[in-house]
Structure 1
Amino acid sequence: MQLFHCSHCGFVVFFESFQCVHCGSALAFDPDAMAMLALEPAGGEAGRSGLWTQRPARAEAPQPPGRYYRLCGHRGTHGACNFTLPSDAGDAPDQLCVSCRQTRVLPDLSVPGNQRRWTQIEAAKRWLFYTLARLGLDRLPGEQGPVYEFLADLPGAPPVMTGHAQGVITLNVAEADDDERARRRLALHEPYRTLLGHLRHECGHYFWDALVLRGGHLQAFRDVFGDERADYAEALRAHYARTPLQPADWQAGHVSAYATAHPWEDWAETWAHYLHMVDLLETAASYQTAVTVPHAMAPQRQQVHDPFSQPRPGFDAMVHDWAPLTLLLNSLNRSLGQQDAYPFAPSPGALAKLRFVHELIASRTA
């Protein structure tokens, strides 16, 4: 994620921000321009129609209103979104932004805790939307998905299973509770489990359909990940029946132990890790991070490069920046008594699969 600044006062703000803490401006993210804007209610008839306009930079004289914006309907009703809509999106107060429109089923928000859970999940989904947009994957020609259903367990009904099917990503909103997510992580012997990680993984299944299957890369996929025609349900049953759950040799060719379950899961885990990589690299580059790679004989200092700079860095250059950056990140976490933020060390076999994802995206968006 890049670092943003208030367009009115220049103070640092963040992707999740609703208000600048320095000048008090209302903030909203414009997904068309991929920019964070300081806004104010428009004057005259435009203001009475619920339109907003950008505040001028503090050092500049006021200018006539330029582009008008609407705020996502979930901002007014639930305080749950900071995205904008174009001014011509319609003046109904429940008009939703491009990210919120992707969610077609919400949990019952009258149930205590569900609004908080849903709000946290939507925030993670907007983060995912940003990364996919930066990669040029938010508007693939001929593709309509993914869409999302955020559901809660109901008494007497089977538990909601997080997963993907035919373009629909389902997430159990209980995953928004830290204690429940930690319980599931420990029960499944996972080193990492987050809302954003779930969404990145599940959208990987959708993009397998869109980029591999419908994109004509099925044989190339099988050459790297294996044959996905293996019985999926049986593969998952066999995976969870293992003792221990994590095979001893999983690191040789996979980014995670769960990736060994089936080629589809291998792809989704690898896809999620690729999104982890580009997001962390962009964040570090936004802060102009340089890392001195520890070495007893000849330490080397290297700048972290933006993966979205033009021309975009190749995969080898990204890995060159990625490896020392994760060492730094994990060391900082340990200094605070926390677990490693990125508890993985991709092997050459796993990196080959990450390279496949990188090159497929690059070829699709070139």
Structure 2
Amino acid sequence: MPKCRACQSAPTGRQARAPLPSLRARGTLGISRLGALRRPTPQPPVKPLLPNTPSGPAAPPLPLLAGRNYHCQCGQPVFFRNSTCLACGTPLGYDCARGLLLALKPGPQPGTWQEWAAPAEPVEAGEGAPLYKRCPHLSSPARCNWLIALDDPQGMCRACRLNRTIPDLNNPEQPDNGELWGRVELAKRRLVSALILLKLPVASRTSEDPQRGLMFDFLRSPTYGPHVLTGHDTGLITLDIEEADDAKREAVRQSLREPYRTLLGHFRHEVGHYYWDRLVAGTPWLEGFHALFGDESVDYAASLQRNYQQGPPADWPQHFVSAYASTHPWEDWAECWAHYLHMRDAIDTALSFGLSVDRFNLEFMPFTQDALFPPGHPDAQEFLALLNHWTRLTTLLNEMSRSMGQPDFYPFVLQPDVVRKLHFIHRVVTSAGCTQGAGQLPPLPPLPAQTQSQS
């Protein structure tokens, strides 16, 4: 099938790879010009609820991940990106399987670490706290703070082992490659963390699953040469690391009239293409996909060309989460997938810090089962609780952003057609769990686990 365009430039030196087919065009999350989550009637002032004030029937518990609210052993708050507590100097490491940022102390063997709360005395084999190794990229510009289980034969953590190509850190013409790569890796770790917590299949195509795994090429255009394009092709996500340059990314965002463009948005969009191949293609989910998103066999290149020449259909806001989503069913899926990950991770973060809109009277018209696909699905109430919480949360956070003179936190409108697509994605993700998708991807030639580009 046609693929998303990734890097149309000709790599040189150690960056060179076997030619790839044409790839799906880079889709940035959201080209909506609308500035609110759902176009509401004029809203009354936000009124804090008094304790014990009834607020209607209790909603079902929200399906949460692991939260982002971490604390050091000294009691000070620490954050996802930290490798050391700034208050007391305790080493920190992220256990991706548990979704926890741990305070660490040296383990019983040289080069090993264990959780600070682990017992000091040796324990019998198979008992007690696990032992870890540090990811080797902790000391690189990536500054990776992830941990590796001591019995894991892989040399890199679960995020870093996904890399096939990293930027050339010794190129005198691009001395900021290390800084840009570090920003890219931080966004990628947040992506991979959420995928693991959602129990989606995450395996390295270079070292774990050569047929259906995932891998990344982080490239930069030569000073005088063809431009690197961000995109996905059969398990390979290519990213132009200049997207980590805030000024350049903002210039592109404005030139394309996008309300939203971030590194994390790129990753979430492109990985949506990967999971379509992995979880939907060739599976029973394809029938529902066709009903909601359309026929993916429609010529992709022609669809792109038509979008570039004619623009999106006039009624796209009624049916799509962004103008770019109207380009082709694959892009519609990838845009909605990215929004689903936004919703899950942001709600998880908010609730883990105690930010719950249940304490406020944000009057709005909630979505009901009529907006779902299908309306009577057994998980309807769970998903509606998630969706309506997101609606209220983003309404509050949009106002917070405006109070600081910043663009809206979430400048998108969710119409019923989009909600049905999000519900479908929720069902696919929930069903996937730790199982393997039935869609088969062709194998790639054997590759080294990691290289540096020489662009």
Query: 2: distance between equivalents of 1:316 and 1:20?
Result: 38
**Pair 1:331–1:63, CA change in 2 (3 A):** farther
**Distance in 1 separating the partners of 2:333 and 2:342:** 14
Q: How does 1:90-129 map to 2 (within 5 A)?
A: 95-110=155-170, 111-129=174-192
User: Which deviations, in whole Å up to 9, do the C-alpha atoms of 1:50-107 show, x marking residues without a partner?
Assistant: 22222238xxx855474321100111233620001112346x9xx3111001011011
The answer to whether structure 1 residue 33 and structure 2 residue 98 are counterparts is yes
Q: Give the deviation of 1:162 after TM superposition.
A: 0.3
Q: Measure how far apart 1:223 and its partner are.
A: 1.0
Does 2:200 match 1:137?
yes
1:228 aligned residue (281, 296, 318): 296
Report the Cα distance in structure 1 between the residues aligned to 2:290 and 2:363, rounded to whole angstroms.
39
1:255, 1:269 within 8 Å by CA — same for their partners in 2? yes
1:139: how far off?
4.1
Q: 1:283 aligns with which of 332, 349, 355?
A: 349
Map 1:269-280 → 2, pairs under 5 A:
269-280=335-346
Q: Provide structure 2 residue ranges, at least 5 long, that are not aligned to the other structure.
A: 1-65, 124-128, 366-378, 435-455
Contact 1:2–1:282 (CA<8 Å) still a contact in 2? yes
Q: Which residue of 2 aligns with 1:308?
A: none
Q: Distance in 1 between matches of 2:103 and 2:423?
A: 39
Greater Cα offset, 331-340 or 76-85: 76-85
2:391 aligned residue: 323
1:73 aligns with 2:111: no
Partner SS, residue 39 of structure 1: strand
State the TM-score, normalizing by the size of structure 2.
0.70
1:252-290 residue CA offsets vs partner (Å, 9 max, x unmatched): 111111000010000000000000111111111112223
2:151 aligned counterpart, secondary structure = helix
CA distance in 2, matches of 1:230, 1:144: 24
TM-score normalised per structure 1? 0.87
Structure 1, 5-14 or 273-282: larger mean CA deviation: 5-14
CA distance in 2, matches of 1:359, 1:77: 39
Report the counterpart of residue 9 of structure 1 in structure 2: 74
Identity rate of aligned residues, in percent? 42
1:52 pairs with one of 113, 127, 151? 113
Q: Deviations over 1:154-179 (max 9, x none)?
A: 13432111000111000000100011
Task: Look up the equivalent residue of 2:345 and give its one-letter code.
Answer: D
Q: Tell me the residue number matched to 2:85.
A: 20
Separation of aligned partners in 2, 1:170 and 1:51: 34
Distance in 1, matches of 2:93 and 2:325, equals: 37
Equivalent residue letter for 2:398: N
Task: Give, in whole Å, the separation in 2 of the partners of 1:16 and 1:171.
Answer: 21
1:157 has 2:225 as partner: yes
CA distance in 2, matches of 1:270, 1:156: 36
Checking the alignment, whether the CA contact within 8 Å between 2:142 and 2:186 is kept in structure 1 is: no
Give the drift of 1:23: 2.2
Rounded Cα–Cα distance in structure 2 between residues aligned with 1:217 and 1:254: 20
RMSD: 2.5
- Contact kept in structure 2, 1:129 and 1:138, CA below 8 Å: no
Paired residue for 2:280? 212
CA distance in structure 2 between the partners assigned to 1:312 and 1:37 by the alignment: 35
3-state DSSP class of the match of 2:301?
Answer: helix
Q: Could you tell me which residue of structure 1 aligns to residue 61 of structure 2?
A: none
Q: Which has the higher contact order (CA 8 A, sep 6+)?
A: 2
- Cα distance in 2 for partners of 1:342, 1:63 equals 50
Alignment gaps of 5+ in structure 1: 299-310
Q: CA deviation at 1:24?
A: 1.6
SS in 2 for 1:317: helix
Aligned pair partner of 1:248 in 309, 314, 324: 314
